[in-house]
A and B are shown apart, each in its own frame.
Chain A
């Protein structure tokens, strides 16, 4: 069975601190894709990144970085020097290529950046 676990329900940090959001996944497939989405207080869902299972290279985009480790089945998301605009709910998701067409989401982590 496929599963995505975001153990941190809610996190609060002070602005400019670094924060890491954890994502642990389960799948028996060897080919799969992992995603992160952001849902700001306005409610829309925005795609942030996609990673496939054959590419374990870390990704950096500005203040955002992602650490993919197959050995621990984790795809963690770090925000460096957090800003108030980073306050949102963040979702991790999994899609396995050889399974059915479902994309499985974690329950999300609500991030509060305090000024």
Chain B
């Protein structure tokens, strides 16, 4: 059982570069989320999706875009990376809104 898979695991970007983080889940979950984790800040929600073709903004959406073209995939894009986006990014999925979250192993992104 793969669960939630995030790629890549690590990435270093230069300011202004773009990239896409991929999240894939094989549990047929409707809900998918992107969080960022920064020291002392806990987990902050960037964007989320309640089903294929839907997306919505979380607490800290600026500078990020997302797409959910297929139910199993949730992509997080950075169009023009900034040092403030240096963080660990976690993808999560759940069966329903109040179901426990299943997390991926995280992506450590450094923007120089």
Contact = CB atoms under 8 A, between A and B. Distances in A.
Interface of A: 6, 9, 33, 35, 37, 43-47, 50, 52, 91, 95, 97, 100-108
A107 B42 contact: yes
Contacts, number: 55
A46 B90 CA distance: 12
Contacts of B58: 102
B73 to A, nearest CB: 18
B59 to A, nearest CB: 8
Given A33-B98, A101-B48, A91 B43 contact: yes
Determine the interface band of chain B, counting residues with CB < 8 A from chain A: 20 to 34
B89 to A, nearest CB: 12
B105 A44 contact: yes
A33 B99 CA distance: 9
A44 B106 contact: yes
Contact of A47 (B43, B44, B101): B101
Q: Which among A45, A47, A52 has the greatest number of chain B C-beta atoms within 10 A?
A: A45
B40 A35 contact: no
29 contacts: A33-B98, A37-B101, A43-B105, A44-B103, A44-B106, A45-B92, A45-B101, A45-B103, A46-B103, A47-B102, A50-B98, A52-B98, A91-B42, A91-B43, A95-B97, A97-B97, A97-B98, A101-B56, A102-B45, A102-B58, A102-B59, A103-B33, A103-B97, A103-B101, A105-B42, A106-B42, A107-B40, A107-B41, A108-B43
